[in-house]
Structure formats: structure tokens, C-alpha cells
Amino acid sequence: APVPAPAPHHFSDPGEVEALRGNLLAWYDRCKRDLPWRALAETEPDADRRGYAVWVSEIMLQQTQVATVIDYYNRWMQKWPTLQALAQASLEEVNELWAGLGYYSRGKRLQEAARKVVSELAGHMPRTAEDLQKLLPGVGRYTAGAIASISYGQATGVVDGNVIRVLCRLRCIGADSSSPAVIDRLWDMANALVDRSRPGDFNQALMELGATVCVPKAPLCGECPVKQHCQARHRKLFGKPVPVPDVEDCGLGDCPLCPPATEPWDSSLGVTNFPRKAAKKQPRAMRTATCVLERRGCHGAPEYLIVQRPSSGLLAGLWEFPSLPLPQDLQEKKEREVLADHLQAWMGQPVAAKSLQFIGEVIHIFSHIHQTYVVYSLCLDGDVTPDPTSSPSRWVTEEEFHASAVSTAMKKVLE
Ligand code: SF4
């Protein structure tokens, strides 16, 4: 059994827990957003399809805003309405549909896991969070909890970024919220709080509260359905946490969940004192030379050459203009020369460095890389015959380019 967190960082009063559940669910029933995966999870009689729909939506929602996901989700479910349909899709089709959503390995893993369900689990989704996490590649603790509670009614909690923020504020948890010790406490709390009769709705309500009311910068505390349970708000209004019987205060000693003594409560921040995170690592800077090779197609319209990236690593399997990572601090003249050499080796025909026209730079931020594409263009008279051992390549029109599995960064480069 989980060891309770030191007061006042846990919910010790069963009456308060009941009231919080009731208030949160009543608010959710009134205010929840109308989202396509919710409608399907509520009305779909086929349990496997329910689980599949929630799974797809949860994977898409990792790192991506709801407003962006809706269109991708609708197109995905239209194209592959069942696990069986997805299992038969090619990776190329998956990458094409995923193009623009970012973090491309998510789509690939989803498809691999669907194949596993069909071939090894007789097409049936596991029904509990434990089995989902154990049996499905790419399904972590959060996604497993979300699928099991929303699709199958298992009374299990979830902890995502929104839940972390809400719980840390509700219970004045100011230690580094990405540390394993704090994350473990939050999972214990989420599992203890989840409503036993409506676990899926409760989890969605908690996440929705974080997404729409208890937002990072300017939370709408006045409209919050759980404000009377919120210690951060109490502290903001009254200058100290809610008194807990037998505990004078927390934070004067070496409480592992309080803000560190070196960074105490800052009254100018109010409830946004919580959560706190250790400073993020700076993204790594990279420069890549990329060349838009262009020719006139059969009707005079321009065509562009794209090549496929390796099947592992960053942007695995996606298509891009011929590109070459550059060492830092290379002079412009030298950059042009190494790109010309690269193209020459690849195309098997001479490419003069001065024939490459410099177009500009495109900056794209990946989660851990600050990438600068140095963009050149080169117009060709005829076809090229790439070295047969090199990556697959093809000519595409502008329309075909946009329908291909290309990253957002490459779309920026073409623009
Ligand atoms: Fe968040 Fe404010 Fe509600 Fe507390 S009262 S949970 S800080 S929105």
C-alpha cells in the first residue's frame, strides 16, 4: 500500500474526497468539450473499437494540442476505423497521414502495436492498465490508465502534465514535479482520488480542468469547481496553507514535497508557485544544408526531388530534400562546397558549388534540437540517376509533395 505523503500534501479526509469528486464531475457534465473520441468512447458498443479510439486519440494528444489533433483523428478513424484495418496499412500510409503532427515515431509504434493485437491477441485489446502497459509497445503508464479507465471503466488514475499541475496546486507540492519521488506521490494521489463509479469521466475531468481552468499562467480560480479544496489558493488568499490537525506547518523542516528552502513561496506568483520544475536542458543546436532540386515536369510544372530518411532515428522514414548535417561554425563558402560534393557523389554527375543558389535559412525547433536548415536550390535540365546504394528517391509535384510523408520543417523549406 502506498505510504501517505506528509500532510498537508495528501487528502486525508474521506468526506473531502467525496465532495471533490462530486464537484469535479458535476462541472465536467456541464462544461466538457465536445470531442470526437469522447463521443465514440461513450456510444460505441464494441469494446475493442472503444479502446482503439481512445488509444489513437491519446497517442495523438501526447505533445500536440487538442485543436490540431481533431482533424488528424477524424481522418485516421475514417481511413482505419478498426485495429484490423490499421494492422493492414503500410508505414508509408501511416507517415503520410501523420505528416505535420510531429514526433513521427508515435504513428509507427501505434501501427506496430495494432499488428501485435491482431496477430498475437486475437484482435482483442487488453482490458486493464497493467496488461495494456505490459502487452502493447509504446503504451506507457499514462496511456494505459487512460484507455483502461475511459474505455473499460477500470478505477485507475492518470497523471499527465495537466494532472500534475492541478494536483500540485491542490496540495501545495512545490518540489521538482519531474522528479521520480514527486511523480510517484502524484500517481498514488490520482489512484486514491479517482471516482470508483465514473473513473473515465473523473480522469478526463481532471485533465480538462488543467487544460481549460487550472492553466499554467493565469488560472481561472474564481470559476474553478474545486477551489474550496485547493491549498495553493488558500495560501494565496490567507498567506498560509490550510491547517491540518496535529501538523503546524509543512516546509519548515525537510519536507520532500514542499518548495526547496532556497526557493520559498513567492507571494507575487500566487497559485502559480506550483508546480515547479528543474531547469530544462537547452536544446542542442544543429545546422543542416538542404538542397531543393527542381526540374520542369511533363506539363511544364516544377517537380522536386525528395529522398527518404533512414528507418530509425529523428524523422525516421520521412521524405526530405537532399540534406547534409553540417559541422558548426563552417563558413558559408565551405558549406556550399560540402553540399555540392555531397550532391555530386549522390547524383553521379558534376555539381559546381557556385551553381547552388542560396535561398535563406529555416529554423525549426524539435523537442531537443534547435535545427537550422540552410536552404539552397538548383534547377536541373534532366533526370538524375542516384547511386543505387543510396536511399530511395522520387520526383514530386508541389501537390504530391504536400501529400507525401514529409515533416513540417521540409514544408517550411519549400515555402
Ligand atoms: Fe487550480 Fe485555482 Fe482551481 Fe486551485 S483554485 S485547482 S489553482 S484553478
Of 197, 213, 229, which one is at a domain's C-terminal end? 213
What is the predicted pLDDT for the residue at 56? Answer: 97
Q: Which residue has the cell 565551405?
A: 334
Same domain for 39 and 172? Answer: yes
- In a domain, residue 244? The reply is no
Burial group, residue 52, by CB count within 10 angstroms (0-12, 13-18, 19+): buried
In a domain, 360, yes or no: yes
- The enclosing domain of 290 has a CATH number of 3.90.79.10
Question: Residue 90: how many CA atoms within 13 Å on its side-chain side?
Answer: 5
Instruction: Answer yes or no: do 202 and 311 share one domain.
Output: no
Q: What residue numbers bound the domain in which 349 lies?
A: 284-414
What residues are labeled active site? 58
209 and 293 assigned to the same domain = no
Give yes or no: residues 74 and 189 share one domain.
yes
Q: Which CATH number characterizes residue 102's domain?
A: 1.10.340.30
205 and 89 inside one domain = yes
**Residues 19, 115: one domain?**
yes
Prediction pTM value? 0.77
Instruction: Assess whether 199 and 58 both reside in one domain.
Output: yes
Residues 208, 297, single domain; the answer is: no
Shared-domain flag, residues 204 and 299: no
My answer on whether 31 and 148 are in the same domain is yes
CA–CA gap between residue 257 and residue 250 (Å, rounded): 9
Q: Would you state the pLDDT for residue 51?
A: 96
Strand-strand pairing, 369-379 and 284-296:
parallel
Tell me, what's the pLDDT at 7? 55
Q: Give the pLDDT of residue 349.
A: 84
Q: What does the pLDDT read at residue 238?
A: 80
Q: Which of 233, 238, 265 to mutate to test the pocket of ligand 1 (most atoms within 8 A of CB)?
A: 233
CA distance 287 to 283: 13
Ligand 1 pocket by C-beta < 6 Å: which residues? 166, 169-170, 213-214, 219, 221, 224, 226-227, 230, 232-233, 271
Last residue of a domain, one of 180, 213, 246: 213
Query: Whose alpha carbon is nearest atom 4 of ligand 1?
Result: 230
pLDDT at 243: 52
- 173 in a structural domain: yes
Mean pLDDT, each 10-residue run in order, the chain (415 residues)? 55 91 98 94 93 96 92 97 96 92 89 95 96 94 97 97 96 92 94 97 97 96 96 84 50 72 86 87 90 88 92 88 90 90 87 92 89 94 76 91 93 95
The pLDDT value recorded for residue 5 is 43
Mutation pick for ligand 1 pocket among 271, 272, 276 (CB with most ligand atoms within 8 Å): 271
Looking at the structure, do residues 304 and 169 belong to the same domain, yes or no? no
Q: What is the pLDDT of residue 29?
A: 97
Q: What pLDDT score does 253 carry?
A: 60
- Number of structural domains (the chain) is 2
What whole-number distance in Å separates Cα of residue 199 and Cα of residue 153?
6
293 and 157 belong to one structural domain: no
The domain boundary, picked from 213, 242, 261, lies at 213
- My answer on whether omega of the bond before 81 falls inside 30° of 0, hence cis, is no
What local confidence, expressed as pLDDT, does residue 250 receive? 62
Distance between alpha carbon 99 and the CA centroid of its chain, in Å? 14
